[in-house]
Amino acid sequence: MMTLLLSFCRSLQMLWKNRLYPGSSPRNWTFSVLYSYFHFSKKEQRYFSFTLPFQRNTKATNFLISQAISSNKNDKDTSRQESSFSPHPLFSAGTAKKKSELLGYKKDQQHYFPFSRPELLPTKPLSSEEWEKVKENFEQKNIFENWMMKQMIKYNCSIDIAKSLLSWIARKNNGIVEYKLLIGYLTLCVSQRQTAEIIDVYEIMKTRYKTLEREGYTLLIRGLIHSDRWRETLILLEDIKKVMSPSKKNYGDCIKGALLHREMNLAWNLYFEMLNHRIIPNWETFQAFFDFAKGVKNNEFERRLLDILLYLRNNQMYPNEPFAQSIKMWFESIPEKKWKGESVLIHKSGQCLACGRMLESIHLNSEEYEFLKQRVLKDVLDGGDQYRKTTPKEINRFEKFIKNCPPFDIVIDGLNVTKMFPKIRESETLLDVVSQLTKQNFQVLVLGRKHMLNGSSRWQKNEMTAVQNMAYCFFADNVSEDDAFLLYATLHSGNQCRFLTRDLMRDHKACLPDEKTQHLFFRWQQGHQLVFLNYYPGKKIIFQSVLTYDTVIQTTGDSWHIPYDENMVERYSYEVPTKWLCLQQQN
């Protein structure tokens, strides 16, 4: 009975979801993603299938994959068209989520069905005697009041009921209501926006307590900004500052209050103060500025809003969808200038489909490039202690080797590439990849470890010698990290050089000292990392296209291009959005 119900609910939920988001991910696109992760998922399954007891539907997954392949074969045109829009196979928003779903994570974890029964929760204000009766039915008498308040907040009760609870407690308690209950009541009032009540509670708190703690202040600020006494939120903000720095929420609420009451200068001052304290504002705060700017005609104001956009650009932040809508609305609301906004995808060549302009190139300029090269050498390869990742002797050997070689076109992470296909002998895969690439007249460098040369069933000696004859090879010690060498070799060879690995290099990125450098590294990585599109040893190698344009807010004066996060897509931190807002002035 119970299980039946449960399973029914589950199916209902799924039905519900499907109804809610119709066509948010078109069929073909899903399949193309599936397809590009075909090899990946195979490999992952090998490692994870035994650790995941809840991954039961391997068969279903396999079926999906095979279906994906066949569908991809059937309508190649559509898939090609789709793939030209997904900017980079590894870094476009949502791929990691899709992959994890494909592998069966989360699916079973998400379903829970709380059978909570607020049986004691009244529907109308009760008198004292009635409250006593309710309390009798409750087991743990000492937490009854707090528990009841919590339930009321959870189910968003009408405040009259809460009031009746408080008056009962006050009568019992010589007219004293605990601070905790008062905070609970305030939470309820704020969530229902009962401004008059909030002011009453504010008065009570003022008389009873000298200072409040953070939650009380936050709630009061949030509640008071809609009232006439919104200026007092600034006093409250000052009070918080005496003990600790206010949160972005506190600042955001104060700014919103100021904007609501048309005190633009005050709002801007608060905003700048916030930035000075290195607090990154909420999206709601940014959005509030853009929303309130629609009615205002003020050049100074306009300039500051554009400054916000530049701030976002410098910090590599991507707006969320509602904020992107606000930006669009604001631009379109400027009279005379006739801005027109559109949400678009970008062609893989970097051309905006709406206006035809080319986006900024992802390639670093020579100064940035040189800087990144030095940092990688210093922080990633050396890292303060040369012995941790390698040895000084090996670094010397590597530097000599690099100097004696011509610049490379492709640097291959030998171990990573060969381990992609667990059923095929490692040396065979490597030989196949290297021979195909050298046939296309690429200068190839293979990085590996010394144990590859020792000759075993997986690494055959004759194949390895063949590889060494075709390409330059560098074999690090078995205990060294070869990734760092890979990065440096690629950077040393110049801008045309790419590297082939499936590793996302996040640990190496984390070695870099500050966010600016990390972002430089990420930009370089997006533009230089090669991934197989569809390769199985023996077949022809095709790489996924690398990004040529930088995913960042950018302007040419009469146009803006703003990448943003879609509501339904969960973006991981190392991914970039695929959707763009294109704004252009029409003449």
Partner 1 sequence: MSACFMFLRHFARQSVVPFVHHKKGASLYKKGASLYFTILHRHLSSRTPFLFYPNKENVPPSEKIDLDEWKNTMKSSLPEERSSLTTSEDTLTMTREWIEMCRMLNREVPEHISDEDLKMIAECPSKKSKKKKLKFLYIKEKHKKARQEKQARKRAEKEETKKQKQLENDEETENRELKNSFLLPLQDRAFKTEWDWRNAQAMIFGQPLVFDMAYENFMPERDLKNTVCQLLESEGANRKDIDPFHIYFCNLRVDSVYHKELLNRYKEKWNTLFLTATEKSHVDIFPKESLIYLTADSPNVMTTFRHDKIYIIGSFVDKCSQPRVSYANAKRLNIASERLPLDRYLQWEIGSKNLTLDQMMRILLTLKNTGDWEKALKFVPRRKHSGFHTNSINSKNFVKGSQKHKLEIKKSFRKLSLNSQNRGMWWKDE
Q: How many angstroms separate the CA atoms of 500 and 444, rounded?
A: 10
Closest CB to partner 1 among residues 75, 215:
215
Q: Which stretch binds partner 1 (CB under 8 A): 240-248, 299-307, 338-346, 552-560?
A: 240-248
Kindly state whether residue 196 participates in binding partner 1, applying the rule CB under 8 A.
no
Q: How far is the CB of 359 from partner 1 (least distance, A)?
A: 35
Q: Closest by alpha carbon to 35, among 70, 60, 59?
A: 70
Q: Which stretch binds partner 1 (CB under 8 A): 54-62, 207-215, 323-331, 368-376?
A: 207-215
Under DSSP, the state recorded for 24 is S
Residue 512 structure tokens: 């870099």
Write out the binding residues for partner 1, residues 445-464 only, by CB under 8 A: 449, 451
Q: How far is the CB of 415 from partner 1 (least distance, A)?
A: 5
Task: State how beta strands 554-555 and 529-530 pair.
Answer: unpaired
Q: How many angstroms separate the CA atoms of 176 and 183, rounded?
A: 14
Write out the binding residues for partner 1, residues 270-289 only, by CB under 8 A: none
Q: How many angstroms separate the CA atoms of 533 and 539, rounded?
A: 12
Binding mask 4-23 for partner 1 (x = CB under 8 A): xx--xx--xx-xx--x----
Q: Which stretch binds partner 1 (CB under 8 A): 186-194, 233-241, 295-303, 543-551?
A: 233-241
Kindly state whether residue 166 participates in binding partner 1, applying the rule CB under 8 A.
yes
Q: Which stretch binds partner 1 (CB under 8 A): 209-217, 261-269, 325-333, 368-376?
A: 209-217
Q: How far is the CB of 147 from partner 1 (least distance, A)?
A: 13
Closest CB to partner 1 among residues 207, 441:
207
For the chain, how long is the longest CA-to-CA vector?
Answer: 94
Contact 249, 218 (CB under 8 A): yes
Q: How far is the CB of 504 from partner 1 (least distance, A)?
A: 13
In angstroms, what is the C-alpha Rg of the chain?
A: 30
Write out the binding residues for partner 1, residues 361-400 only, by CB under 8 A: 385, 387-389, 391
Q: How far is the CB of 381 from partner 1 (least distance, A)?
A: 14
Q: Closest by alpha carbon to 398, among 321, 473, 328?
A: 473
Which alpha helices (H) appear in 440-481, and where do they start and end?
A: 461-470
Kindly state whether residue 227 participates in binding partner 1, applying the rule CB under 8 A.
no
Q: How far is the CB of 210 from partner 1 (least distance, A)?
A: 6
Helix 179-192 / helix 195-208 crossing angle, nearest 10 deg: 160
Q: How far is the CB of 479 from partner 1 (least distance, A)?
A: 5
Q: Which stretch binds partner 1 (CB under 8 A): 158-166, 348-356, 463-471, 538-546?
A: 158-166
Q: How many angstroms separate the CA atoms of 370 and 366, rounded?
A: 6
Q: Which stretch binds partner 1 (CB under 8 A): 160-168, 255-263, 334-342, 352-360?
A: 160-168
Closest CB to partner 1 among residues 72, 164:
164
Residue 215 structure tokens: 């939650």
Q: How far is the CB of 438 from partner 1 (least distance, A)?
A: 24
Binding mask 106-145 for partner 1 (x = CB under 8 A): -------x-xxxxx-xxxxxxx--x--xx-----------
User: Among 61, 78, 343, 416, which residue interacts with partner 1 (rule: CB under 8 A)?
Assistant: 416
Q: Which stretch binds partner 1 (CB under 8 A): 102-110, 205-213, 296-304, 522-530?
A: 205-213
Closest CB to partner 1 among residues 211, 298:
211
Kindly state whether residue 163 participates in binding partner 1, applying the rule CB under 8 A.
yes
User: Among 17, 59, 141, 210, which residue interacts with partner 1 (rule: CB under 8 A)?
Assistant: 210
Kindly state whether residue 236 participates in binding partner 1, applying the rule CB under 8 A.
yes
In DSSP notation, 522-582 reads HHHHHHHEE-BSS--TTS---BPPPP-B--S-EE-SSEEEEEEB-SSPPPPTT-B--EEEE
Q: How far is the CB of 82 from partner 1 (least distance, A)?
A: 32
Q: How far is the CB of 464 from partner 1 (least distance, A)?
A: 15
Which amino acid, residue 570? E
Helix 283-292 / helix 248-260 crossing angle, nearest 10 deg: 10
Q: How far is the CB of 265 from partner 1 (least distance, A)?
A: 23
Which alpha helices (H) appear in 155-231, and where do they start and end?
A: 159-172, 179-192, 195-208, 214-224
Which residues contact residue 361 at a Cβ distance below 8 angstroms, ignoring those fewer than 6 apart?
350, 548, 549, 550
Kindly state whether residue 422 participates in binding partner 1, applying the rule CB under 8 A.
no
Closest CB to partner 1 among residues 338, 388:
388
Contact 567, 320 (CB under 8 A): yes
Closest CB to partner 1 among residues 124, 141:
124
User: Among 10, 180, 400, 450, which residue interacts with partner 1 (rule: CB under 8 A)?
Assistant: 180
User: Among 242, 403, 423, 540, which residue interacts with partner 1 (rule: CB under 8 A)?
Assistant: 242
Exposed e or buried b for every residue in 568-577, given b needs 16+ CB within 10 A?
A: ebebeeebbb
Kindly state whether residue 263 participates in binding partner 1, applying the rule CB under 8 A.
no
Q: How many angstroms separate the CA atoms of 445 and 448, rounded?
A: 10
HEC sequence for 238-307 = HHHHHHCCCCHHHHHHHHHHHHHCCCHHHHHHHHHHHHHCCCCCCHHHHHHHHHHCCCCCCHHHHHHHHH
Q: Which stretch binds partner 1 (CB under 8 A): 198-206, 352-360, 400-408, 528-536?
A: 198-206
Reduce the DSSP state of residue 35 to 3 states and report it. Answer: helix
Q: How far is the CB of 166 from partner 1 (least distance, A)?
A: 5
Q: How far is the CB of 177 from partner 1 (least distance, A)?
A: 6
Q: How many angstroms separate the CA atoms of 402 and 266, rounded?
A: 58
Write out the binding residues for partner 1, residues 54-113 only, by CB under 8 A: 113
Contact 264, 304 (CB under 8 A): no
Q: How far is the CB of 506 from partner 1 (least distance, A)?
A: 13
